[in-house]
Amino acid sequence: MRSYTTEGGRVVIELGGHSAKLVPATPAPDWSVRVWTNSTWVRVGLGRDGGTTVSVFCTWNDHPPQVEIV
């Protein structure tokens, strides 16, 4: 498992050899969390009033899981 801490909260992802699974996503105070999943990716969006957003993307389409924070 890998933990990713951002301004908007903490996201924990279990990384496998050819897939990944979101464990918990915990938003920071005054932030909210949304999750989108597909068979080859997961996106966790952390947002708050005023339009500030942080997204944690994990993809594994024909490659080992890779995480990007935007």
Number of domains in the chain: 1
Where on the phi/psi map is residue 63: left (φ > 0), alpha (ψ -120 to 50), or beta? beta
Domain residues for the domain of 26 are: 2-69
* pLDDT string in tens for the chain (70-residue length): 999 999 999 999 999 999 999 999 999 999 999 999 999 999 999 999 888 899 999 999 999 999 999 9
